[in-house]
Amino acid sequence: MTASTRADIPTARRIVVKVGSSSISGENSGKIPPIVDALAEAHGRGTEVVLVSSGAIATGMPYLRLDGRPSDLATQQAAAAVGQNVLIYRYQESLRPFRIVAGQVLLTAGDLENPTPRSNARRAMERLLGLRIMPIVNENDTVATHEIRFGDNDRLAALVAQLIGADALVLLSDIECLYTRPPDQPGALPISHVAYGDDLHGYEFGSVVVNSVGTGGAATKVSAARLAAASGVGVLVTSADLVGSALQGDEIGTWFAPHPSPAVVSLTGPIRRPVPAAHAVDTLGG
C-alpha cells in the first residue's frame, strides 16, 4: 500500500531508505549499527527494505592514505573499489545478529536508462526481496564516468523506488527536516509537509555542495523527493539519527505527499534524466 502519510510507513509493503556518506563514514562509521537496527526492525515486521547507501569513496579514502576526497576520476574509482568492499562488510556484520543477508547491487545511470539492464536490475532486486535478502544499492563508482553518472544518490534512490514500485522512500540527511532557507540563516522555518504540486520556488534550498566525503545537499533531496512523489511514492526527508522514528511513522522530518493518481511507468522503457543541478560538480557521488 502506498504510504499517503508518515503514519503509513510502518505498514508499507516495500520501502527504500537512502543514507549519505557523511552519516556513515569517517568518525560516523559507528552509526551503521543503529541504522541497521532500525532497518532490521522494519524487516522483522515483514517490510521489504532496500538500502541505497553512499560512502564507498569516503570509506576507501583511509585505506589509500588520503587526507581528503580525491579530485581525479581514477583515484575516486580506486577509492570506491576498496571502500565498497569494506562498506558492505560493515553492513553485513551489523545485519548478522538479525540473521539478515545483504545483497550488493551496483548501478550506473546507463543501467536505469537502457531497457535491458534496467529490466535485469529490477528482476534481480525482486528476487533478492523475495528471498528476504536486503539489497544494498550504490552507484558503481569504479566504472562510472563524469558524463554518465547519477551525481548524487538521492536521485538514485528515487529511481530505485520508482523501479521496484516502493510504497515509501526515506532520504536520510544530517538535519531533522528541510527548511525554507538554509537553517543557519535568520528566518529559516522548518517544512513539515509538502503537498503534491506545491510551488516551492519561494524557498531557498541551496545548491549542491561537495564536502570532504561526498556530494549532495538540500536541493538534491528536494529534486529527488519530487521525482519519487510524481511516481506515486511518498517521501520522508529526515536525519539519519532519527531513522528508527522515521520507520515507525513518527511526526518528524519533511513529508512529500505522493501523486494521488500517478501515470503508469513503463518498467522496460528508458528513464529520462533532466540536467542535474550538480552538472558543474566534476566528482562522483560515492
- The answer to the question of whether 54 is labelled as a binding residue is yes
What is the per-residue pLDDT for 271? 42
Q: How far apart are CA 25 and CA 58, in angstroms?
A: 6
pTM of the model: 0.87
Provide the CB-side half-sphere exposure for 250 (13 A, CA): 13
The CATH fold assigned to 6-253 is Carbamate kinase (3.40.1160)
Which pLDDT tens digit goes with each residue over 252-275? 999 999 998 887 554 444 343 333
The ranges of the chain with pLDDT < 50 are 147-148, 207-215, 266-284
- The answer to the question of whether 167 is labelled as a binding residue is no
Angstrom CA distances, 275 to 12, 149, 223, 235, stand at 32, 11, 11, 22
What is the per-residue pLDDT for 277? 34
Contact predicate 224/162, CB 8 Å: no
What is the per-residue pLDDT for 6? 95
Domain spans of the chain? 6-253
What is the per-residue pLDDT for 2? 81
- The answer to the question of whether 140 is labelled as a binding residue is no
Q: By C-alpha distance, which of 52, 6, 8, 70 is closest to 164?
A: 52
- The answer to the question of whether 37 is labelled as a binding residue is no
What is the per-residue pLDDT for 262? 83
- The answer to the question of whether 18 is labelled as a binding residue is yes
Q: Give residue for cell 551503521.
A: 32
Which pLDDT tens digit goes with each residue over 196-218? 988 877 677 754 443 444 445 78
- The answer to the question of whether 4 is labelled as a binding residue is no
